[in-house]
Chains A and B, each alone.
Chain A
Amino acid sequence: MKTLTRIRTALGISLLGIGRRWWASLNSVLGTAVVVAVMVAILAIGAGYSEAMKMAEVDDANMILKGGVKSEMESTLEGADVRLIESELGSAAASEVYVVASIENNRGEPVNLALRGISENSTNLRPGWTLSQGRMPKEGRREIVVGARAQQHFGGMELGSELRLGSASWTVVGVFETGGSLTESEIWALATPVQDAFNRQDSYQVVIARPQDGETPQDMQNRLNRDSRLSVSVTSLADYYGEQARAMTRFVTIMGYGIGSLMALGAIFAAVNTGLGHIKTRAKEIATLSILGWTERALTAALTIETVLMTVLGGLIGVAAVHLIFDDWLISTLFFAEDFTQIVFDFDVTAGILWQALAMAVIIGLLGSIGPALQLRRLPVARILLQRR
């Protein structure tokens, strides 16, 4: 109990005098704030990317690609193959054309977007898909509906506007949403005009299909490949995009922790410096408390708590800054699925990231207080008390 009283009072006295050394304290607070902000920002990119790749609008659907290929871009299913697949699977299938189309963004820079030529069942198989503005494209017309995030981020896709995709001009007739998933970075049209405009004749890239009860993707693949005319690979949509996201997420996470750790080293040194500065400027105060009965342990604990409080304050400032400035900000990057289309996603400052950031701030504070604590133990109390200042 006495130790707690000693710690509490030593901490209180130290905080009372913080105005006299505000610059050094601010240094420690801001140093940690910058480290935490950078780490949170990078991890928020990873979290936003992963969230976008979860394809939340798709409940339980599989993706049927040409046998042996790993992405939609590589896959080609001839019309005859698609009709065999559809006859085997029945109405629960949607054949889709997938091409990469180049547009100019609102800064006049070329960007690649995924243009998906859909069929009647495409929206039925995506329960989370909603048309938020306008209407669906009509047969025989070069009309498109655009993902909300693509429209928001790249610009020039308002209802009624014309967009040059491939060799043709297309009219924007609607905007769709899928809860912020990857699909919202796409442009959709009916399959036939896409095949015409991109010279795909009677070929498709993928068939989306709902499995029978209890059927795994492997079961579906086996069922389809029993027909010797077919050679297909089947994977669940969640697994497909999860696999595509894994590399990027891993990269961003490693980068976040890597850069964060390197910067944290700097922040630890800043905290050590601040702590040593505190010991120097507070030597008289510490020696006086020691002579009056404050134990070394209590003074060390108070110093550590103060350092951690400073770095946690810095951490909170860093998190708040990122949250206020970047949370829900849309950014785009290349989708790492071998087709180099742009995927639009937002910074996602999750609760998990907040806790990790605060843990980082605590670690910076704890490690940063070791040096000053050792210095405090070596303080020549008797000699300091004889000095004028």
Chain B
Amino acid sequence: MTVHDTEIAIQAADRQDRPPFVQIDRVSKTYRKGKLAVPVLDRHSMIIAQGDMVALVGASGCGKTTLLNLIGGVDRPDTGEITVDKTRITSLSDAGLTEWRGQNVGFIFQFYNLLPALSAHANVELPLLLHDIPKAERRARVDNALNLVGLQDRASHRPEELSGGQQQRVAIARALVTDADLLLCDEPTGDLDQDSATRIMELLSMLNQEFGKTIVVVTHDPLVAEYAHRTEHLTRPETAA
């Protein structure tokens, strides 16, 4: 065992001691295509500790994105409970869930999902508009977030004027700006070249290690999964007619 391996083992042991941040308890989800029921999650349970970085991997259709959406309150499970940072999100109303999502979760998608009419600065500022924050402080927080992702000089650019990697970094800044503890990333490097992908994963890794963000990454890419502390393999349940 090398020194580096020893450090990783120690960090893993530390995380074991941390309280659970995300608790998924026997969650099931089935989609319907006409008369066909397509189960994607069947009584799935898992625990993610605070400050953990977890990769969700598995074949297409095994429920990785569905699980990510359930953790983020974008979708609801058919059965089971999900608790995030002591909030049982499966019990929240639709409006309550939306509000919770806006305050507690940062999302990063494969295709960035930036608003094309807004500059990078305005895109990052968006989530702050729902918080009662003075304009000067909003500006400072947006500048900090853009600084952190190395895009302070691109603040006035619109998404179409940025490369894919830059757009993804804007999306990460937007996810960070509310200081959400939970970052959910769905194939964050899926649309990027290798260099840009490496920069994005190093950035996410830094956010996890230096800022203690809990990060869940859905990926097909084993190189991306390597950045995670642990990997959760999902399998596809049987399809029932």
Q: Which residues of A contact B (CB under 8 A)?
A: 2, 5-6, 9, 13, 16-17, 19-20, 284-285, 287-297, 381-382, 385-389
Contacts and interface: CB of A to CB of B under 8 A. Distances in A.
B74 A13 contact: no
B69 interface: yes
Contacts of A2: 99, 130
26 contacts: A9-B129, A13-B115, A13-B117, A16-B117, A17-B117, A284-B113, A288-B113, A288-B114, A291-B72, A291-B74, A291-B101, A292-B102, A292-B107, A292-B126, A294-B98, A295-B94, A296-B94, A296-B95, A297-B95, A381-B74, A382-B65, A382-B69, A385-B107, A385-B111, A386-B110, A387-B111
Nearest to B69: A382
B103 interface: yes
Interface in B107-154: 107, 109-111, 113-118, 126-127, 129-130
A386 B111 contact: yes
Contact of B98 (A5, A285, A296): A296
Given A295-B99, A296-B94, A385-B113, 16 more contacts: A6-B130, A17-B116, A285-B115, A289-B126, A291-B74, A291-B107, A293-B130, A294-B98, A294-B102, A294-B130, A295-B95, A296-B95, A297-B95, A382-B75, A386-B186, A387-B111
A248 B114 CA distance: 59
A377 B118 CA distance: 24
A293 B174 CA distance: 13
A20 B74 CA distance: 28
**What is the predominant secondary structure among interface residues of chain A facing chain B?**
helix
Contacts of B130: 2, 5-6, 9, 292-294
B113 A5 contact: no
The interface centre, meaning the residue of A288, A291, A382 with most chain B CB atoms within 10 A of its CB, is A291
Nearest to A1: B132
A16 B113 contact: no
A293 B117 contact: no
Nearest to B109: A385
B75 A293 contact: no
Contacts of A288: 113-115
Contacts of A389: 111
Which 3 pairs between the two chains have the least Cβ-Cβ distance? Answer: A293-B102, A17-B117, A16-B117
Contacts of A20: 116-117
Contact of B127 (A5, A290, A292, A382): A292
Contacts of B99: 2, 293, 295
B129 A5 contact: yes
A295 B74 contact: no
A386 B95 contact: no
For chain B, the bracket of interface size reads 20 to 34
B124 to A, nearest CB: 11
A292 B128 CA distance: 10
B151 to A, nearest CB: 19
The interface centre, meaning the residue of B109, B114, B126, B129 with most chain A CB atoms within 10 A of its CB, is B129
Nearest to B187: A386
B142 to A, nearest CB: 14
Given A382-B69, A382-B74, A386-B65, A295 B98 contact: yes
A324 B233 CA distance: 71
A36 B74 CA distance: 42
A289 B118 CA distance: 13
A385 B110 CA distance: 9
Nearest to A15: B117
Contacts of B129: 5, 9
Nearest to B129: A9
A386 B174 CA distance: 17
Nearest to A389: B111
B86 to A, nearest CB: 20
A294 B102 CA distance: 8
A20 B118 CA distance: 13
Interface string B86-105: 00000000110011011100
A387 B94 CA distance: 23
A146 to B, nearest CB: 63
Contacts of A381: 74
B12 to A, nearest CB: 31
A292 B69 CA distance: 13
A233 B115 CA distance: 77
B98 A293 contact: yes
The interface centre, meaning the residue of A287, A296, A385 with most chain B CB atoms within 10 A of its CB, is A385
Nearest to B106: A292
Interface in B54-94: 65, 69, 72, 74-75, 94
A63 B22 CA distance: 92
Nearest to B65: A386
